[in-house]
Amino acid sequence: QTSRETRFGFDCPANWTLDEVESAFFTPEPGADRAMNHLVSALWTVGVGKRRGFLLTLPGFSEGLLWDGAVMHRLLLEEPIGCSLIVSHRPSDHSVKDWLLHPGLASRLNAEVSTALAERCYTCPVPLYLDRRRLDGFHLCPSHGWMGDSFPFYLDFLEMAARVRIPPGTFDNLQVSNKREALSPGLHVMSVNALQSLKKRTEAGGVLLVSAHASKATSRRYSKWETRRCPSVCYWIRDGVVVDSNIINAPNKACSVALFLDADDLQSDISGLAVAADAAKAERMVTAARQVKAHLQEVSAVGFQAVVAEAGKQSKFAGGAFLLVGTGILFVSPLHGFACMGAGVFTIHSSGKEEKELVATYRDELAELVNSWPDKTAVRTGRYDGLTL
């Protein structure tokens, strides 16, 4: 991805031809090839809806399909470049002068692509990268993933007839290295344990992710982590992409659930994107909700115990360092030496206090969530956009 364009690399069926793609692009009715329908839908969105030019190439062809925002052309290539799609960031109705006078347009379009991939495509069943950054994995869910203020501590799979394909990045423990230092001491341990204990698989009837939520409150006098209540959400996945979401009919808690269910065989609503609110959808949610309640009752407290243990370890290390420094400078500067030693004793004595308070709240909130979890009616009225209520 650059300031001028976004390049997509992907695999396509070996029997696709440029003539077939061009014909499908100008045919309003969807065909029998589901993959072709998805590609054409994307090309219409960017090429017609947003009036952006694109170049599509296929393996074995010495020319590509070039759309200038209004007309389709054939562009002769110097050599075949495989299956790729290059989308221009400048709409065809924007002049170069407009583009130069508004340099923020390129950044905004870059952000649109990044946001769409992060919010909708983390359920992709094949490895997904954006500028070398891995995006696939259930633990990258915007509302319940390991995103700085949410800490997934339980991930398990449901047994149902419908099948959800598992993003391979779920098992790669992607965020352990770059999140460890940024988070409150101890809380990250829950997420590390949850990711490291997973056994690899390619599909499941459904996926259950339970997360603890916290935000850092700061003022002039103090800075501390406080619990944050969030709704439990059901995400519907079609062809590896989140196409719909619903708030589950359970109270907002500091520990909440993200439920991922398959929508490939369910009907779409009039928009053609979201899942129709019919009996089949309701039945699938009720079936999943009953399994979720059984899983929640089995959630272990091991993750919470590890939080307190890690926090205590960190505090004892810091306190010991203060004591060591204080002892070393005691004879040179008694005042500073005693001050450091006092700080060390206080740090050791108060080790894990903040985390113990958080864990106590999480235990209570999780118990309340289990007791109030619905096993008949599973959905509140309205949708959840994955980020804000």
pLDDT digits (tens, 9 = 90+) for 128-148: 888 888 889 998 999 998 877
Please give the span between the terminal C-alpha atoms of the chain, in angstroms, as a whole number: 30
- pLDDT tier for residue 125 given thresholds of 50, 70 and 90: very high
Window from 33-37, 160-164, 312-316 with minimum mean pLDDT: 312-316
Supply 144's token pair: 């319940």
Strand partners, 150: 213
Say what the pLDDT of residue 69 is: 84
Distance CA 301, CA 39 (A): 45
Burial of 19 (0-12, 13-18, 19+ CB in 10 A): exposed
User: In the structure encoding, which two tokens stand for residue 243, read together?
Assistant: 């196409």
Q: Residue count of the chain, please give it.
A: 389
Average pLDDT rounded to a whole number, residues 150-175: 85
Q: What is the sign, positive or negative, of the torsion defined by CA atoms of 10, 11, 14, 20?
A: negative
The model's pTM: 0.75
Q: Which residue has the higher pLDDT, 299 or 334?
A: 299
Q: State the average pLDDT for the chain.
A: 78
Question: Residue 388: is its pLDDT beyond 50?
Answer: no
- Token digits of residue 234: 């059901």
Residue 234 has pLDDT above 60, yes or no: yes
**pLDDT reading at 261 higher than 90:** yes
Residue 78 is predicted with a pLDDT of 85
* Residue 192 phi, psi (nearest 5): -60, -45
pLDDT at 327: 66
Look-up of token digits 């109030």: 372
Q: 3-state secondary structure string, the chain? A: CCCCEEEEECCCCCCCCHHHHHHHHCCCCCCCCHHHHHHHHHHHHHHHHCCEEEEEECCCCCEEEEECCCCEEEEECCCCCCCEEEEEEEECCCCHHHHHHCCHHHHHHHHHHHHHHHHHCCCCCCCCEECCEECCCHHHCCCCCCCCCEEEEEEEEECCCCCEECCHHHHCCCCHHHHCCCCCCCHHHHHHHHHHCCCCCCEECEEEEEEEEEEEEECCCCEEEEECCECCEEEEEECCEEEEEEEECCCCECEEEEEEEECCCCCECCCCCCECCCHHHHHHHHHHHHHHHHHHCCCCCHHHHHHHHHHHHHHHHHHHHHHHHHHHHCCCCHHHHHHHHHHHHHHHHCCCHHHHHHHHHHHHHHHHHHHHCCCCCCEEEEECCCCCC
The pLDDT value recorded for residue 136 is: 92
pLDDT at residue 252, rounded to an integer: 94
d(CA 288, CA 369): 16
| pLDDT at 270 exceeding the cut of 80 | no
Res 178 pLDDT > 50: no
pLDDT at 343 over 80: no
Do the beta carbons of residue 6 and residue 89 sit within 8 Å? yes
Query: For the chain, what percent of residues have pLDDT higher than 90?
Result: 26
Confidence of residue 22 (pLDDT cuts 50, 70, 90): very high
Mean pLDDT of 276-298: 89
Q: Is the per-residue pLDDT at 384 higher than 80?
A: no
**How many CB atoms sit inside 10 A of residue 261's CB?**
24
Residue 10 has pLDDT above 80, yes or no: yes
